[in-house]
Structure 1
Amino acid sequence: MTTCLSSSSVGPINMPRRLNSGFYFAFSDGSTVAAMEKVVKHAATSGLSEQPSFYDVLCGEGGSNRLGDDKCIEPETNLTIHFLSRDLFPNGAYEGLWEKRNLSEACLEKGCFVIHNNWISGRRKKLQRHVSSGLWDYDISTRMCKHNFEHSHHLLGS
């Protein structure tokens, strides 16, 4: 499994509470399914959301299952978690990117593949930020994408 991480740019990326369950790439295999089931079960019984449960289950309480500076291993399933680069897969709080005057340009300079539209409360605020950033490529009146995907290297927002 590969995942994104938090806004902190100091220290190892696999420290406690830096795992962002908003982006991840995972193979649909037995180990991944079993680990995801553990995350959901933990979230249901912990009183916390799934976000901290991702870290506590996959990296261990307090990071006890960290491996080096950019990985964790879930011991029961033997699933290895690789943390994604902060620069290539930033979240909504990383380096104030969503506050930049030209978000697309700022991300292209960093080499972003995708930016997560998180660290903002409320669906309407999230939508407003997405539209005002210039990343909203949907025409509400025609219900069509405004973007031509044939020759696209466009920054994607999630």
Structure 2
Amino acid sequence: MTMAVAERAWCLVVPHHARGARVARHRLAAELSGAVTGALLLDVVAVVAELVGNAVRHAAPLPGGVVRVAWRLAPDDGDVVVEVRVTDGGSEVALPRARTPGPEATGGRGLGIVEALADRWGVDRDGLGQSVWARLSALRAASRAAC
């Protein structure tokens, strides 16, 4: 199913705390509900939850003790695309990367989930912090949901 969409963008600042991921999930779901397919909405909400959770666990906050969450909805050559970006204060340890945790590991799966759901994802750093972004498409979400 192809939906006609107009390009829209949002930005939200959430606490650098576990409740920040919940706030981001609920706001994102409210804004995108009815604008994208159910499969894409589920994928985008899961990706944002993982990215905000990782920012809280592994990175410093932005000034004010917050994390910035931005997303953009856009038509793209017969497809619908949502781009999400979570910006935090970064980490001195290492750039975010997907890992392969062992079966008994209690963590380490977040970016693997992002990698599985997103068309592409990456990390941008500048003098203000670090952004982890992901691009998800309705066609890919639909094909995965059909399996």
TM-score (norm. length: structure 1): 0.24
TM-score (norm. length: structure 2): 0.25
Which has the larger strand fraction? 2
Between the two structures, name the one with larger relative contact order (CA 8 Å, sep ≥ 6).
Answer: 2
Larger Rg: 1
